[in-house]
Amino acid sequence: MVTAAGMVVVLAVLTIRQARIWHDSITLWEWVIAKQPNAARAHYNLGEYFREQGDLDRAGESWKKASDLEPTFSWPLNQLGNLAVQRGQMEQARAYYERATRVNVNDAEAQLNYAGFLEDQGQLAEARTHYQIFLRVVTPELAHMVPEVRERLSELGQP
């Protein structure tokens, strides 16, 4: 009986401790990074948290750290491209998008963002290529974009 009661107390303490870690996204991701500083996905997710809070400087720092830790991780590169566009840093945006689509050709979101970027820059042949790749690798989360991409391709015409 004492052993069972002791176990309940221990489990209650552990549950409370774990609940504090899962309290919110920043607490969770900072805890993960404290335990595993080289966890690129934790740095990426922390960047997403900062983006959602409107802190784009800290978001960019987290995504940069994620991409430094895992150079073939396309998600932070894509987000760094988006951030560079927002800041009017078009050459930097191009470099990030190009790298994201090169390291992971199957990253549908990066393909779509790079295609739109290229179209806005007047590089229509390259934009077509990335829109076509997007259509080949589109994920269920981005399937709603297929009609718009097909429309863009139709408007851009053939080379």
Residue 15 clears pLDDT 60, i.e. is over it: no
Say which range, 26-30, 42-46, 61-65, 114-118, has the weakest mean pLDDT: 26-30
CA distance 89 to 137: 28
Residue range 145-157: mean pLDDT, rounded: 94
pLDDT in the model for residue 5: 52
Assign 28 a pLDDT band (cuts: 50, 70, 90): confident
Residue range 63-80: mean pLDDT, rounded: 97
CA distance 71 to 19: 33
Residue 157 clears pLDDT 90, i.e. is over it: no
Kindly report the CA angle at 84 between 80 and 89, in degrees rounded to 5?
Answer: 145
CA distance 144 to 65: 31
Residue 78 clears pLDDT 90, i.e. is over it: yes
Neighbour tally for 70: CB within 10 Å? 18
Residue range 56-73: mean pLDDT, rounded: 97
Say which range, 30-39, 60-69, 75-84, 104-113, has the weakest mean pLDDT: 30-39
Q: What percent of the chain shows pLDDT beyond 70?
A: 84
Residue range 120-142: mean pLDDT, rounded: 97
Assign 16 a pLDDT band (cuts: 50, 70, 90): very low
DSSP 24: S
Assign 6 a pLDDT band (cuts: 50, 70, 90): low
Residue 19 clears pLDDT 90, i.e. is over it: no
Q: Helix, strand, coil proportions of the chain in percent (round to 5)?
A: 80, 0, 20
CA distance 50 to 157: 39
CA distance 68 to 150: 35
pLDDT in the model for residue 21: 46
